[in-house]
Amino acid sequence: MRLHARMTVVLFVLAMIALVAGVVAVNASPYTAPSQPKSMLSINQQDSNLVNYLRAKVTYVDAEKSVVHILEGPRKGLEQTIPIRDLQLPATREKVGDTVLIVDSQQYPAITEHWRIPGLLLLGMLFIVAIVLIGRRKGVMGSVGLAISVAIIGLYVIPLILQGAPSFWVIVSASFMIAAISLYVAHGRNRRTTIALLATIIILLIVVALAVFSGWLIGLTGAYDETSSIFAATHPTIDMRGVLVGGMIIATLGVLDDIITAQVAVVDQLRKANAKLGIRELYNRASVVGGEHIAALINTLALAYIGVSLPMVLSIVDTSYSQNIFVLFNSEFIAQELTRTIVSSLGLIFAVPVSTFLAAVLLSNWDHIKSKTRSQDK
């Protein structure tokens, strides 16, 4: 049996261990979906009326209403008057010439959103051009890996959770699928990728345990703002705590790919530059680079979380919470962001020594293992 085949078997066994760990975590942790019947706020999607939306161009705006020209559907070419929404700020009002989405209703018309798809497509094209010109083949394959990851989340995670499957377990299983598929697609089937995947599986197991323990310790519920609270009320069979904790795992996975593949590559390049370096020397030298990487990524994680949630943070700080610093940090939203940052950072910290050690040991002995494997196959 060839070395890659044997490594694949090892990774498969580890994946099975990870799946068993996920099942144990689901059954032993507080992240189990509630079994109570739906509340009065619940919406039966099969019985509810489907809301249709149409594109329209704004032709007139005043202090009380907007007039739009419908661009599609049976009423294409007609104009409709739509009253201003309650509590709508002047800065968010649509302007003459804007393309918007409206609810297809003559009794209760409303402008819901600006039409943003053309702008998103333009940004997407810019992204693709930059990848092809600068990233070349690696960039393209990385984009394919990203597309597969998004497909797993969109076609596997979200539908299963909405159908009532255990959210935590679904997200954990998806994390291991994303790790295995995206790594090989983005970086190719080689020894560095195999070692990186081995390290990623080990770190993911650690992160799963940390996320479950932290969510239980802090008492996170997953319903931390108006949107999540309404969703939890209308979908009581969905485990919101599992969604929240699983989200920590998904978020950490995205950064693990970066730091683990980088550490394995550093060890490989050090070994190629000086084949006389031993395992300890390889580990020590690569760990210096890993330390710099950890510092940069932890800062990146914290700033990313703060940046994404800045409007909510401003809203919380502006309320009565700001009168007491302990009450402020005790709010679920702030506690959740701190927990998310700490769990992800711990995953990164553990990733450096684990991936560096595995790379140093396996790459230093790769030729020996390969030759021994070939001799056993004869």
| Buried/exposed code over 326-358 (b: 16+ C-beta within 10 A; e: otherwise) | eebeebbbbbbbebbbbbbbbbbbbbbebbbbb
Q: How far apart are CA 195 and CA 369, in angstroms?
A: 14
pLDDT at 23: 53
CA distances 232 to 42, 165, 196, 252, 328, Å, are 9, 15, 37, 24, 23
**69 membership: H or E segment, kind and range:** strand 65-70
Distance CA 378, CA 370 (A): 13
SS3 content of the chain, % helix, strand, coil (to 5): 70, 10, 25
Q: Does the predicted TM-score (pTM) go above 0.85?
A: no
**282/49: higher pLDDT:** 282
> 99-103 and 53-61: which strand pairing?
antiparallel
Write the class of the CATH domain 53-117: mainly beta
Partners of 280 in beta bridges: none
| 44-82 per-position pLDDT tens digit | 444 445 678 888 898 888 878 888 888 888 888 888 888
What is the per-residue pLDDT for 41?
Answer: 34
Angle CA 14–17–23, to nearest 5:
145
Residue type present at position 150: V
Residue 93 exposed, middle or buried by CB count within 10 Å (0-12, 13-18, 19+) = middle
Integer CA distances (angstroms), 163 to 228, 304, 349, 354, in order: 17, 31, 36, 37
**Per-residue pLDDT tens for 109-148?**
788 888 888 888 999 889 888 888 887 777 787 788 888 8
Contacts (Cβ under 8 Å, ≥6 apart) of 356? 263, 266, 267, 282, 283, 286, 287, 290
pLDDT of residue 28: 45
Task: Judge contact between 67 and 109, C-beta under 8 A.
Answer: no
Q: What are phi and psi of 52, to 5 degrees?
A: -100, 145
Which of helix, strand or coil describes residue 308? helix
pLDDT greater at residue 186 or residue 20: 186
How far is the C-alpha of 88 from the C-alpha of 312, rounded, in Å? 18
* Domain positions in the chain: 3-33+166-171+188-377, 53-117
| CA pair distance 73, 377, nearest whole angstrom | 67
